[in-house]
A and B are shown apart, each in its own frame.
Chain A
C-alpha cells in the first residue's frame, strides 16, 4: 500500500508539473498584454510609465525562462500569486469560492447516483418496450448540454409551475434546479453503464440460485446485481466528479450561483493570468486526488481486480 501511495504521489507531482508548464505556455500564447490586464483591463488608458511599472512589479519584463523558473519556485512554496483583477492572493480567492462549488458537485453526484439507481430498478421491472423507452431517455439525458437543460428546467419549474426559484437565493430550494441540471445527464450516463452489467449479473447462475432460494427480486437486485453492476460505474466516479466541476462553470452562470466556475469565467475574460493558472492547477490537483481515491475504493471492494 505504501509503495502504491508513493507511486501515486510521484505520478501526481509529474502531472502537476506538466499541467503547470502547459498553462504557463498556454496563457502566454493568448493575445493581449498582461500588463494591460493589470492596469484596468482591455482598452485601458494606462500610460506607458504605468504599464512599465506594472510589468516590472509582476516580473513581466524578465526573460521568459526566468519567469518560468520563478513561477515554478513559487508553486513549490504553494504561492499561486496575486489576482490581477481582484488584487487578492489567488489561493485566498479559491478558498472563498470553493465551498459552494464543492457542495453543488457533491450533492449533484449523490443525486445522479440516486437517480441512476431508480432508473436501473425501473428498467429491471420494465417490459421490453418500456426498456426501449428507458434506454432512449437515458441516452438523451446523457447527451443534453447543461446550458440547454438549465434553461428548460427554469422555464418549466420556475416560470410555468413556480415550484423552484430560477436563480440561487442561498436556500435549499435554490439548489434544486442547478443540481438537477448537473445530475440528470450524469444519471443517464451512469444508468447506461450499469444496465449491461446489471442484466448480466441478474441473468447469471448465482442470481437464479438466489431466486430459487426464495429471495425476492428486489433483494436479489440489491444484494447481488448491484454489487456487480456498480463497479464499472464507481470506477467512473472520479471522472464524473471532474465533469461536474467543469459543468459548474455553466451551471453557476445560468443560476447566478457563486463558485469556482464563475471565478474561472471572469478570470478568462479579464485575462487574469494568475487566477486562470491557479484554478487550472487546482482543478488538476482535485482530479488527481479524486482519481486516486476511487482507485483506492475499487481496491477495497475488489482487491483481485485492482492487481490486474
Chain B
C-alpha cells in the first residue's frame, strides 16, 4: 500500500523508495555516548580526523572515484540529491526534479542563493559542466562516469534549470546523482588544470579546502557563506559549528587507535573489530554506517569448471559454516547477510535458507556430480583432476579478519574434499588475475546507491571487460531472462513494479548459488567522548560534520 501511494509521487518527478525499517540502521549510532546527553552545541575548535585509507591522489571525487575520496569530499562538496534519515532520495542542491512521460528527459531545478567556495553562484551551467567533466575521458572518472552513462545531452533551460536527455529511461539517475562521485563543483574551478582542481576543488559544502600538505593533512576550514540545505530545519541558514577539520592519514590501525585513545585525534575510521567491540568500555563513541549497494560477498565464477556445474556451487556453499567464523573474527560487530544487497537498500531480499551448513548434502552433491575419487591428500578427483578452486584475495580490499574468514572457508571446504587456494595479492595483481579469468572464487566490494547495482554486478554486459580489463560480473552470470529483468527494472516508472522486478532478479541469482553474501560493507567510526553530534551521513554513508561539535 505504501508503494502505491508513493508511486503517485513519480508523476511529480521525485524518485521515491519504499520505506523499510532496516534503513534507519544506516544512519544510526550503536553506542554513542553523546546521544544520551542533551548538550548545547559549542562553536569553535578543530576536529582531527584520522583515516586508515590511502591518501587520495586527487581530492576531486570525479577523478577516479573511490570511497576514501568520498569520505573527505563529503565535507566540501555536495550532490544534487541526498538520502534522508528514512533512506529516501531527497533533493539537496536541487530543489525539484521532473521526468518526462517517456522517461527520456529529466529536468532538474536548482535551489537559489547557493555559491561555491570560489564565489561562483550555483547555476544550471554547473550541472552541465559537471556532467560533461565526468564524461570527459581526460577526467579518468570510473564511478561517476558509469553513474551518468545514460546522459546524452544537457541543455540549459534557464538560470537554475537544466534538462538532461537520456539514451534510455533510468529510474536510478537520482540515486546516481546523490553520490559524492557525482557531486557538483564550481564550473570556474573545473576550468583550471586538473592538478590545481585536484588540490582544492571548489564545492558548496560546509567546509572548504584551505590547504593540502601531502602525506600530512588536508586542512579544511568552515565555509562562512554556507547556504545549502540542512537536514535539520532548525539549522537551516547557519554554518558548521567546527572551525575546521584536520584530515590526516594514519595507515596503521594500531597507531590510529592509540592516537585516538591518547587524544591526539578525535575521530578514526577503519577500526579493527576488537576495538569496536570494546569501544563503549573504553569510553569511545561508535558510529556504524553500512555502505549502500552490494553486500560484501564471495562470488563463484560460473563460466568455467568446476563452478559451471550448479550442484558443485551448492555443494561448496553447503560445506561452509560462515556464521561461526563471522561472529568469532568480527567480535559480533558484523551481522551475517543473506542478501545480495546492503541492509540499507530497501529492495534487497534475504534468503537465509540457501546458506545453511549441510555437509552431508555437500558430499552427496559432489558424489552425484562425479567427484567420487580421492587423492592422497583427501581431495576429490574427477577424470584424474583435483577439485581445486583458486581464490585471489586483494589485501587492499579485505581486512585481516576477512582474510581469516576466507581461511576458515578453506578449512571447511577441505572437509568435503574441495581444495581452495588462497592467493593474497596487491590491488593491481588482483585485477590482473581477474582480467585473465584466473579465479573460481573472488570477493569484490561495490558501493552504489540503490538496487541498480544489481545490473552492474549481474547483467551479462558486465562480463565483457572494459578496455582496462575490468568487469563487474565476477560470477560470470549470463542469463537472458535475468538481463531482461534488470533492464526493465531500471526503466519502469512504476515503483511497485520496480520492486517486483528486482525481487525476481535477485531470486534468480540466489537460486543459482552464484554468490555467498557475508555482511554489509563494514563502515565503522570511533570517536572520543568530547565529539558530539556524530551520526549524519551522505547517501553513501560517509559521515558529515556540519552538526558535529567539540566539547573539550
Residue ranges of A at the interface with B (Cβ–Cβ < 8 Å): 30-33, 36-37, 39-51, 53, 85-88, 96-97, 150-151, 154-155, 158-159, 162, 165-167, 169-170, 253-259, 262-263, 266, 269-271
Which residues of A have CB within 8 Å of B42? Answer: none
Interface size of B in residues (CB-CB distance below 8 Å): 49
Which residues of B have CB within 8 Å of A47? Answer: 137, 466-467
Which residues of B have CB within 8 Å of A170? Answer: 216
Q: How far is the CA of A151 from the CA of B255 in the complex (A)?
A: 7
Contact check, B251 vs A256: say whether CB atoms are below 8 A apart.
yes
Asked if B432 lies at the interface with its beta carbon under 8 angstroms from chain A, I say yes
A247: min CB distance to chain B, Å: 15
B103: min CB distance to chain A, Å: 24
Taking CB atoms and an 8 Å cut-off, the chain B residues in 383-427 that contact chain A are: 396, 426-427
Q: How far is the CA of A2 from the CA of B249 in the complex (A)?
A: 48
Which residues of B have CB within 8 Å of A48? Answer: 467
Q: Which residue of B lies closest to A163 (CB)?
A: B262
Q: How far is the CA of A271 from the CA of B426 in the complex (A)?
A: 10
Which residues of A have CB within 8 Å of B198? Answer: 87
Given A158-B259, A258-B213; 13 other pairs, CB 8 A cutoff: A32-B428, A39-B468, A43-B142, A44-B470, A45-B142, A53-B137, A151-B254, A155-B254, A158-B258, A158-B262, A167-B259, A256-B50, A269-B54
CB-CB contacts of B129-146 with A at 8 A, as 1s and 0s?
000000001101111011
Q: Which residue of B lies closest to A151 (CB)?
A: B254
Contact check, A166 vs B258: say whether CB atoms are below 8 A apart.
yes
Residue ranges of B at the interface with A (Cβ–Cβ < 8 Å): 50, 54-55, 57, 63-65, 137-138, 140-143, 145-146, 194-195, 198, 213-216, 248-252, 254-256, 258-259, 261-262, 264-265, 396, 426-432, 466-470
Which residues of A have CB within 8 Å of B57? Answer: 85-86, 270
Q: Which residue of B lies closest to A265 (CB)?
A: B251
Q: Which residue of A lies closest to B444 (CB)?
A: A43
Q: Which residue of A lies closest to B425 (CB)?
A: A31
Q: How far is the CA of A270 from the CA of B256 in the complex (A)?
A: 23
From B54, B194, B264, B469, give the contact of A167 (CB < 8 A): B264
Q: How far is the CA of A31 from the CA of B64 in the complex (A)?
A: 20
B260: min CB distance to chain A, Å: 9
Contact check, B259 vs A40: say whether CB atoms are below 8 A apart.
no
Q: Considering the complex of A and B, which 9 residue pairs feature the smallest CB-CB distances, nearest first?
A: A258-B215, A50-B137, A32-B428, A166-B258, A40-B140, A31-B432, A48-B467, A45-B142, A256-B250
Q: Which of A87, A158, A166 has the most CB of B within 10 A?
A: A166
Contact check, A154 vs B468: say whether CB atoms are below 8 A apart.
no
Contact check, A269 vs B396: say whether CB atoms are below 8 A apart.
yes
Which residues of B have CB within 8 Å of A87? Answer: 194-195, 198
Which residues of B have CB within 8 Å of A159? Answer: 258, 261-262
Contact check, A154 vs B466: say whether CB atoms are below 8 A apart.
no
Which residues of B have CB within 8 Å of A257? Answer: 215
B202: min CB distance to chain A, Å: 19
Which residues of B have CB within 8 Å of A150? Answer: 255
B346: min CB distance to chain A, Å: 27
B149: min CB distance to chain A, Å: 9
Contact check, B262 vs A166: say whether CB atoms are below 8 A apart.
yes
A50: min CB distance to chain B, Å: 4
From B195, B265, B431, B469, give the contact of A88 (CB < 8 A): B195
From A33, A39, A254, A255, give the contact of B140 (CB < 8 A): A39
Q: Which residue of A lies closest to B142 (CB)?
A: A45
Q: How far is the CA of A286 from the CA of B146 in the complex (A)?
A: 45
For this complex, 25 residue pairs linking A to B, each with C-beta atoms less than 8 Å apart, are A31-B429, A32-B429, A36-B469, A40-B65, A40-B140, A40-B141, A42-B428, A42-B430, A44-B142, A46-B137, A46-B140, A46-B466, A47-B466, A87-B194, A87-B195, A87-B198, A88-B195, A151-B254, A155-B258, A166-B255, A254-B252, A256-B252, A258-B214, A258-B215, A271-B428
Knowing A43-B431, A44-B142, A271-B428 are in contact, say whether A51-B258 is a contact too (CB < 8 A): no
From B213, B261, B468, give the contact of A36 (CB < 8 A): B468
Contact check, A32 vs B146: say whether CB atoms are below 8 A apart.
no
Which residues of A have CB within 8 Å of B264? Answer: 165-167, 169
Q: How far is the CA of A85 from the CA of B143 in the complex (A)?
A: 17
A170: min CB distance to chain B, Å: 8
Q: How far is the CA of A159 from the CA of B55 in the complex (A)?
A: 25
Q: How far is the CA of A256 from the CA of B525 in the complex (A)?
A: 19
B249: min CB distance to chain A, Å: 7
Which residues of A have CB within 8 Å of B254? Answer: 151, 154-155
Contact check, B255 vs A46: say whether CB atoms are below 8 A apart.
no
Knowing A159-B261, A269-B427 are in contact, say whether A167-B255 is a contact too (CB < 8 A): yes
Q: How far is the CA of A158 from the CA of B213 in the complex (A)?
A: 25
Q: Which of B138, B198, B258, B432 has the most CB of A within 10 A?
A: B258
From B215, B265, B468, B469, give the contact of A259 (CB < 8 A): B215
Which residues of B have CB within 8 Å of A39? Answer: 140, 468
Q: How far is the CA of A165 from the CA of B262 in the complex (A)?
A: 8
Q: How far is the CA of A277 from the CA of B102 in the complex (A)?
A: 55
A77: min CB distance to chain B, Å: 23
Q: How far is the CA of A257 from the CA of B57 in the complex (A)?
A: 17
Q: How far is the CA of A51 from the CA of B259 in the complex (A)?
A: 42
B56: min CB distance to chain A, Å: 10
Contact check, B262 vs A50: say whether CB atoms are below 8 A apart.
no
From A42, A46, A151, A169, give the contact of B427 (CB < 8 A): A42
Q: How far is the CA of A170 from the CA of B213 in the complex (A)?
A: 12
Q: How far is the CA of A45 from the CA of B148 in the complex (A)?
A: 13
Which residues of B have CB within 8 Å of A43? Answer: 142, 427, 431, 468, 470
B218: min CB distance to chain A, Å: 13
From B65, B138, B142, B428, give the contact of A30 (CB < 8 A): B428
Q: How far is the CA of A154 from the CA of B430 in the complex (A)?
A: 33
Q: Which residue of B lies closest to A53 (CB)?
A: B137
From A50, A162, A165, A262, give the contact of B215 (CB < 8 A): A262
Which residues of A have CB within 8 Å of B429? Answer: 30-32
A88: min CB distance to chain B, Å: 7
Contact check, B137 vs A49: say whether CB atoms are below 8 A apart.
yes
